[in-house]
Amino acid sequence: MGCSRRSSQSNFHDGFDSTNFGLLVKDVKYALRTERNNNLTLVDTLQHMGIEHHFQEEIQSILQKDVEQSACFLKYQNHHDISLCFRLLRQEGHHVSADVFKKFKNNDDGTFGLNLSQDVNGLIGLYEASQLGVEGEYILDEIANFSGDHLNAYLAINDSCDEARIIKEKMKYPYHKSLASCKAKNFINNFKGINGWGKSTLQELANMDYSITKEIHQHELIQVSRWWRSLGLAEELKLLRDQPLKWWELCAMMDLPEYMRSTYKDENQEGNDGSYIECYMKGQKNGSIGLAREYVVKQIEDEWKQVNKKHFDLMNGSLGSFSKASLNLVRMVPLMYNYDDKQSLHVLLEYINFMLYDNVSMSIK
């Protein structure tokens, strides 16, 4: 489905400058083949911008070399770079042992060689890497707790600075457990370049790709809305609140394996879809909301470990594309069930506005 969408992009956008687009893609491919010291950072940037699909061959070549030669773990020594290498390799299903982090651990006090004054980016990297753990990888559990505690301690005394905003965003929406497209707009707009390179090239490429994708989504929404109206369910099923997009996602979710379906119990369900916390409270005589939330968060973390294990297995076979698509459905959970105090799905609405209506602002100099 994804491939057919991309191949038909020019049919949806009359003003698309294919020549300029091709030149931009060519420039980035050249950078991926030659910027040896920063290629992992570039790969990470492309993924956060949602344009990595144009460079799959180059990305796979970079990661495969790192796997075969253990290059990144020999070349990089700081927490952030090793964490980034670990995350990128695991995302693509490469077997990378979590033992690479043991060299950072101080067995005397349980820390990982970092404090807040030294390296906030290293703590963020560790936190992001810890999201790709599977059952039994206790060192990743330790890393998640250590980095999370220290980042929260930083926020307690630095709540209003730009770095605090980045930390909050990373902790609430770690890359592996979030839809990249949901946060691509902010990333693109705030991108400063990589050691002086790439700001104008990558922003322009991402903006062009976004404009084309937006028109594709608008076309698809028209088709989904027509189908929804033809069913006439909006009048009969009031609890669905006339949400064709959400109904479509729920239908798609039912085709998922059980281990992925189970992660659709989110700790923030407060609307008419039903609250898992409320169900838990009814079954506990002396339970509190705090304990219920802790229980649900732990359940979701455990389910994610099962999802990760299955994802890694599928990525090593012939079902890698299916596994990535399935992961994106699981990542829809925070968008579909994260109600605010007004019973509104503001995060989902923000995402829809971005994907269908907004423009990505550009500040190219």
User: In whole angstroms, how large is the CA radius of gyration of the chain?
Assistant: 21
Angle between helices 199-231 and 180-190 (to 10 degrees): 150
Domains of the chain: 17-197 (1.50.10.130), 236-356 (no CATH)
In this predicted structure, what is the pLDDT of residue 182? 83
In this predicted structure, what is the pLDDT of residue 238? 55
Q: What is the pTM of this model?
A: 0.81
Average pLDDT, the chain: 80
**Tokens 């030294």, residue located:** 118
In this predicted structure, what is the pLDDT of residue 248? 54
In this predicted structure, what is the pLDDT of residue 240? 52
* CB-CB contact of 184 with 50 (8 Å): yes
* CB-CB contact of 117 with 107 (8 Å): no
pLDDT in tens, the chain (365 residues): 344 444 444 444 456 788 999 999 999 999 999 876 678 999 999 999 999 999 999 999 999 887 776 666 777 778 898 999 999 999 998 888 999 898 888 877 767 876 655 689 999 999 999 999 999 999 999 999 999 999 999 899 888 788 898 899 899 889 999 988 888 888 998 899 998 888 999 999 999 998 888 888 888 888 888 887 787 766 665 555 555 555 555 555 555 555 445 555 754 444 445 566 677 777 777 777 788 888 888 888 999 999 999 999 988 878 888 888 889 888 887 777 777 777 777 777 777 777 777 665 544 43
Q: State the alpha helices, DSSP H only, in the chain.
A: 2-7, 18-34, 39-49, 56-69, 71-75, 79-91, 120-130, 138-157, 162-172, 180-190, 199-231, 233-236, 244-253, 258-261, 276-282, 289-315, 320-330, 333-337, 346-356
